[in-house]
Structure 1
């Protein structure tokens, strides 16, 4: 018997948009939709793998839904899919990725695929990816001067540096450079790649 496809919960207060996301994902994933924050809480279960979560919704906001997901200890990856431009408050939020609307079918599918892949790794690697995603979205939305003046951004960068150091041993023990490429393909920059891992082309 084959395993069931991963389960994605789409939380979006615009039903047409929620249904569109579900249609984009339905050929590869099981999809559950919730047209608001309270519906999302009612739909939460331990078998959910990925949540696509609108941030600004009437009634219960996406931020509140996210807090409840983490408080309940549901082990799933969460991407905020929202028109709310990110500010430095996102550093402390418990999501794994942040997509600013409008999003394309390709971007949504790639995000779900990547989040599902991240679930295979331990908490340290997942935190690294989450923080790297937050830094990337802040760098795409904020000017350099604003970033340099932000204590939250400085703390985020310091935490990423700490994680890179602690993950060096795990990364270098991987069976092949292909594993490394797969794991870090989103964040292969000089700032993010641990220094003691060589370029696959070198070997």
Structure 2
């Protein structure tokens, strides 16, 4: 579904694509707010309130999924694992009140957003995920790792990060990818390409 109008933050909803968004949120009022906010920007939005419902829907051609982690019948990361196991080309954002721990390093999401969040934050997450859907696999991996590192660094003390092997492995892989991408960008000098890499660090 999509609606016309002006969205939060003064954004316009005149979109030229048909980006489809699946929202998995068990609280009906919150789900309705998310759906209305995102649909007002011209996205096609479907909502599921239960994990089993979302699992049945995810075979559709969605571009973006916003998943809560705690649900009455399971956990959002179960659907995330299903999406990755089935190799569905969906950019996934975890939108949750669950404070991130080092277990997120092994999860295959693209973005981690803590509740509560404003309408502007919600739309920013959707826009960033939409942009990342245009990346190749290497860029998507880099963006995902950068998001995980930023999330952990915002929530964990430096001492805990330095002691954690998963965090160290994450940063090592990200450094390697950054070096590889730096070598690639030396061969390009267009504004579009520079903008693409600026989003990775956001």
Tell me how far apart the structure 2 counterparts of residues 53 and 106 of structure 1 sit (CA, whole Å). Answer: 18
Deviation beyond 4 Å, 4+ runs, structure 1 = none
C-alpha distance in structure 1 between counterparts of 2:199 and 2:99, whole Å: 25
| Deviations 1:96-129 (CA, angstroms, capped at 9, x unpaired) | 0000100111111011111111111110100000
| Deviation by residue 1:126-184 (Cα, 9 ceiling, x = unmatched) | 00000000000000000111111111111110000111122223323334144213432
Identify the residue that residue 17 of structure 1 maps to in structure 2. 30
Match of 2:126 among 112, 125, 142: 112
Can you list the C-alpha shifts for 1:8-54, whole angstroms capped at 9, x where unaligned? Answer: 00000111111110111102200010001111101112410000000
Matches within 5 A, 1:83-122: 83-122=97-136
Distance 1:104 1:135 in 2: 22
Alignment partner of 1:170 is 2:170: no
Q: What do you get for the CA RMSD once the two structures are aligned?
A: 1.6
Unaligned runs of 5+ in 2: 1-14
2:195 equivalent in structure 1: 181
Report the TM-score when normalising by structure 2.
0.87
CA contact (8 A) 1:46 1:75 kept: no
Verify the 8 A CA contact 1:7 1:29 in the aligned structure 2.
Answer: yes
The unaligned stretches of length 5 or more in structure 1 are 189-203
